[in-house]
Structure 1
Amino acid sequence: MTRRLLLSYLSLMALVLLALEVPFGFVYARNELNRFSHTAELSAVTLASVCEEKLEHGRASDLPEFARDYARRTGSGVVITDRGGMVLADSADAAAAAAEGTNLAAQPDIATALHDRPATGIRDDLVPGVKVLFATVPGGSGDTVPCVVRILYPLTPIAEKVHATWAALGVVGLAVLAVVALIGSALARWITRPLRALERATTQLADGRLTDPPATDRGPPELRRLTATFTRTATRLQHLLHAQQAFASEASHQLKTPLTSLRLRLENFEPHLAACAQDSLGDAIDEVGRLSRMVQGLLALARLENSAITPEAVDLDAVVADRAAIWTAFAGDQRVGIAVGGTKVGRVWAVAGALEQILDNLLSNALGVSPPGTTITLATATATADDGSTVELHVIDQGPGMTAADRQRAFDRFWRAADARHDGTGLGLSMVQRLTRAGGGDVCLNAAPGGGLDAVVRLRPVPTVRARSHSAAHRKIPPLRSSSTTGSRPITGTAPGAEP
């Protein structure tokens, strides 16, 4: 912004200088030429009066020497003709001089002067290779014109003077621009210093904590007020964030104990209740469990929204293999298989621990709707998006699937489909979306070929030193390899499901 302000100052000053200096230069050049023309014409009139006097006294033989002497003193050229346009004297050298007795009456300026009218102008054909200013005037004050005097002045001196003036104007303009650049640079830094401080402060605030608040006593008054308002807002926002974080931390401890105690007390009623009340007791215990899972999900979302999280490189292939092994035994109890397929995709950007939670929620949802004898497929593939290459993680089930309208609303908090499981909380997919976007990716739900649901998690790949080429066939999922159910580890730390 400093450079843009400085450029605006210099541009404005350059326009002002051009608007002032260019017209001044042209006016000066025109005035100098007019003054020079007027001086030449006055000199020619004076010389014509002297020539007329010499002709009246019969001293025409003195005119050649008189013309050469005047030309030497003034650096001009002089041509004198009689009343018929015949050359009486020419101050030019012998090689270029018009021979005495040559008739010049046909030339426009001589013809004009013979008609008792002066003529001035600029021509480049009177002296070879030189542009000259001519002043041709008639001699005599009566009705007759006894002689005509033409004075030729080269324009080189006046051109040099005009060029020197233009050069001086250019130097003055550059000097003014240099001064404006120094003053404008200092002024621009003074104006933008509070803005740079605000930029640093907003970056810190976006990262979760404002450690270096901007100074409120620098810069223009408007920016000082803006900085003060921002500081108050940031302080208030930090206080609210700290309060929310404290609530999330305290509530996770304060709510677990009463819910656990309530569940134990309800279970203790079971031996003392009649058989007709056992179903109601079981429903109450299930509702307490669902409430506990909902509280845990809400607290997890609150911690995710209030924390400053930074994506890191995670090996997606290793995470997929690990979660598939953990969920295989649990899926086997419901006679549902888990198969892993796709290409090796390597590392992707994700929040620490997020991929495990994403897969746990998606597998929990898929397992809840998968009929016995079906298979849940985990597949990885590379794809090309508008902003570059991406990595796709597919979780495909063979359940009843969802309508297009339900797939659009599935990521809303607490939303659950009409035929969803009773113990779902409606928070799992919302948490999946938040975790995916926190790492710079996205997630969507598509209809799987042949029925079922295809949850597609798109992630950003970590660039490698040697770029790997992927053909269009990489988008296709290779033949699946089923995970073995023998030797699998026990299920621990799985996230609660949220089948909508």
Structure 2
Amino acid sequence: MTRRLLLSYLALALLVLAGLEIPLGCIYARGEMSRAAQTVERDASMLAEVTEENIEEGELDALPDVVGDYADRTGGHVVVTDKQGVVLADSAPDGRTGINLAGQPDIARALHNQPTVTTTTDGDGRDVLSATMPGSSGTTIRGALRLTYPLDQVSTRVHRIWGALALAGACVLGAVALVAFSLARWITRPLRTLESATTQLADGHLASPPDATTGPPELRRLAASFTHTATRLEHLLRAQQAFASEASHQLKTPLTALRLRLENFEPHLDPRAHGSLEEAVGEVERLGRMVQGLLALARLESAATTPEAVDLNAVVEDRVAMWEPLAAEQYVTLDISGPPAGYVWAIPGALEQIIDNLLANALRVSPPSSTITLHRAPGGELHIIDQGPGMNDADRERAFDRFWRSSDSHHDGTGLGLPIVRHLVDASGGTITLHPAPAPGTGLHVRIRLRPASARPHQVQPSGEDFGSRRSGSRRTHAADRG
């Protein structure tokens, strides 16, 4: 932004200078030309009077001295003719006398008592200013005088003034650039500190608040408002993190105690009430899983974790090895297909939890003798395909909504598994979509696309708060829901 402001200031200054200096230079050039023309015209008139007197008095021998002396002093070229147009004197060293110039337009007009002042080109191709005056006394024409003056000196003076104007403009632009750079830095300093503070806040901690003491008043107020908002946001995040860490322990104990008390009622209840007791225990267990899911979402949303490179091959093989015993109990086969995948970007522990939730979800609905396929594809893609009942279009549209469960769901899910998976994928910078199984028949196809990591990381992938890596109890607490 500093560069853009500086360029805009310089462009405006350049426009103003061009609007001032170009007309000024043109006016000066025209003035120089006009002054030169007036000087040549005046000198030609004076020389014409002098030479007319010499011709009238018959002092033709004095003409070469008169025109030669003037040519030496001014650098001009003087030619004098009689009334027939015959050259009487020529100031040029190689000038010839006795030739007739009456056929030349300016000499012909002068012999008819009509002066001429114009710019033309001499025999050497140089631009000259020419003044041709009649040598007359009243109506009597005794001759003509042509005075030509080279425009080299006039052009030199014009070029000099253009150079001076350009130098002055460059100095002005330099001064404007210096002032504009200082002003742009002053204006953008709060924005730079605000950008840095925004980046820090996005990472979860505001170490350096934006500078609210410099810059325009509007930006100072913006920086102060941002600092106030960031402070409140940090306070809310800390409060949410404290709740997520404490509520789990505070809620787990009474729920466990409630379940134990309900189970202790079984020997003292009428057998006809055992069914209701089992339903009550099941609802308590479901409430416990729902609390765990909500706390997991709270921890995920409050944590600001940077994605790191994770070996997709190793994670897939590890999770399949962990889930194979449970799948075997249900007569379900877990199959890994596709070429070996490389590293992908994911927040610590996210990929393990994503696979655990989706495998648990698939095992819930997979019939015996079916297969769950984990297919790896280039570009950081992982496809998990089951042979269960699948989902219709409407269910796939709402599957990631919190607490939503399919209308034909026959399991005791909480409706939080897939929202947790989507949050983990989004936080890792990837995407997740649901599709019908590619093979004819029933089934669900989950496609996860993560950003490929170009190189192997130098440090060990930290486990973080890995909800999916818990081996014990994972069959219940990490089972994602089809709704």
TM-score by length of 1: 0.90
Aligned pairs, number: 466
2:177 maps to amino acid: A
Confirm or deny that 1:105 pairs with 2:91.
no
CA distance in 1, matches of 2:472, 2:385: 21
Q: 2:428 aligns with which of 428, 439, 453?
A: 439
Preserved contact between residue 370 and residue 387 of structure 2 (Cα < 8 Å): yes
Counterpart residue number, 2:83: 83
CA distance in 2, matches of 1:137, 1:270: 138
1:46 maps to amino acid: M
Give how far 1:304 is off. Answer: 0.6
Counterpart residue number, 2:326: 330
Q: Which stretches of structure 1, 4 residues or more, deviate above 6 A after TM superposition?
A: none
Q: 1:343 aligns with which of 335, 339, 345?
A: 339
Give how far 1:490 is off. Answer: 7.0
Preserved contact between residue 330 and residue 491 of structure 1 (Cα < 8 Å): no
Query: Which stretch has the larger CA shift, 35-44 or 341-350?
Result: 341-350
Preserved contact between residue 414 and residue 426 of structure 1 (Cα < 8 Å): yes
Counterpart residue number, 2:3: 3
Confirm or deny that 1:173 pairs with 2:164.
no
CA distance in 2, matches of 1:167, 1:134: 27
Query: Which stretch has the larger CA shift, 426-435 or 415-424?
Result: 415-424
Q: Give a deviation string over 1:7-48, Cα, whole Å, max 9, x none.
A: 222121111111111221111111101100011001111111
Give how far 1:141 is off. Answer: 4.6
1:86 maps to amino acid: V
Query: Which stretch has the larger CA shift, 327-336 or 490-499?
Result: 490-499
Q: How does 1:466-485 map to 2 (within 5 A)?
A: none
Q: How does 1:241-320 map to 2 (within 5 A)?
A: 241-320=237-316
Change (3 A) 1:269 1:141: farther
CA distance in 2, matches of 1:344, 1:91: 100
Structure 2 gap ranges (5+): 457-469
Confirm or deny that 1:24 pairs with 2:24.
yes
CA distance in 2, matches of 1:116, 1:413: 108
2:449 maps to amino acid: R
CA distance in 1, matches of 2:391, 2:183: 62
Change (3 A) 1:54 1:260: same
Counterpart residue number, 2:69: 69
Q: How does 1:13-412 map to 2 (within 5 A)?
A: 13-94=13-94, 97=95, 99-124=96-121, 126-382=122-378, 390-412=379-401
- The 3-state SS of whatever aligns with 1:152 is strand
CA distance in 2, matches of 1:15, 1:402: 66
CA distance in 1, matches of 2:55, 2:471: 135
Change (3 A) 1:115 1:286: farther
Q: 2:419 aligns with which of 430, 451, 467?
A: 430
Q: Give a deviation string over 1:199-255, Cα, whole Å, max 9, x none.
A: 111111111111111232111212111111111111111111112112222211211
Give how far 1:458 is off. Answer: 0.9
CA distance in 1, matches of 2:142, 2:276: 141
CA distance in 2, matches of 1:270, 1:144: 150
CA distance in 1, matches of 2:354, 2:272: 41
Give how far 1:100 is off. Answer: 2.3
Confirm or deny that 1:462 pairs with 2:453.
yes
- The 3-state SS of whatever aligns with 1:440 is coil
- The 3-state SS of whatever aligns with 1:209 is coil
1:274 maps to amino acid: D
Give how far 1:84 is off. Answer: 2.5
Q: Give a deviation string over 1:249-270, Cα, whole Å, max 9, x none.
A: 2211211112111111221222
1:80 maps to amino acid: V
Question: Percent identity among equivalent residues?
Answer: 58
CA distance in 2, matches of 1:490, 1:435: 19
Structure 1 gap ranges (5+): 383-389, 466-488
1:14 maps to amino acid: L
Preserved contact between residue 368 and residue 421 of structure 1 (Cα < 8 Å): no
Query: Which stretch has the larger CA shift, 30-39 or 110-119?
Result: 110-119
Preserved contact between residue 421 and residue 499 of structure 1 (Cα < 8 Å): no
Query: Which stretch has the larger CA shift, 405-414 or 304-313?
Result: 405-414
CA distance in 2, matches of 1:217, 1:129: 69
Change (3 A) 1:441 1:35: same
Confirm or deny that 1:497 pairs with 2:480.
yes
- The 3-state SS of whatever aligns with 2:289 is helix
Change (3 A) 1:31 1:304: same
Give how far 1:140 is off. Answer: 2.1
- The 3-state SS of whatever aligns with 2:206 is coil
Root-mean-square deviation (CA, aligned residues, Å) is: 1.7
- The 3-state SS of whatever aligns with 1:140 is strand
CA distance in 1, matches of 2:412, 2:80: 123
CA distance in 2, matches of 1:267, 1:347: 48
2:104 maps to amino acid: Q
Q: Give a deviation string over 1:161-210, Cα, whole Å, max 9, x none.
A: 11111111111111111111222221111111111111111111111111
Give how far 1:275 is off. Answer: 2.7
